[in-house]
Amino acid sequence: MNLDSTFVIPPEVQARKVGEEMVMLDLASGTYFGLDAVGMRLWQLLQEGKSLRQICDVMIEEFDVSREVLEQDVLALARDLVDKKLVSPRP
């Protein structure tokens, strides 16, 4: 996985905004997963089919963070979402 990676959200993963958070449910496993406002923004951009690099390009304008820290955090969250089977890397 790298910054040029894009992802597919499986149809069994449902996501809803609840207050300032995003709550996802994997219907296959029954597992809930929550994202804060920053994670929710990443999720929204993933839904649009953007690569991790494109997501960083958008988010660097919206959040007060260095590019290096943002890229590390975006990659870490993407790995976590893949590990939890909430997204799959696009071939």
pLDDT in tens, 19-64: 889 999 999 988 889 999 899 999 999 999 999 999 999 999 999 9
pTM: 0.89
pLDDT in tens, 44-54: 999 999 999 99
Q: Is 82 within the bounds of a domain?
A: yes
Q: Is 80 within the bounds of a domain?
A: yes
Report phi then psi at 12, rounded to 5: -80, 0
The CATH number assigned to the domain holding 29 equals: 1.10.10
Q: In what order do the strands lie in the sheet with 21-26?
A: 13-18, 21-26, 31-35
For residue 22, the enclosing domain spans 7-86
Q: Is 1 within the bounds of a domain?
A: no
* Residue 51, token pair as written in the block: 């690569």
Q: Which residues pair with 14 in a beta bridge?
A: 25
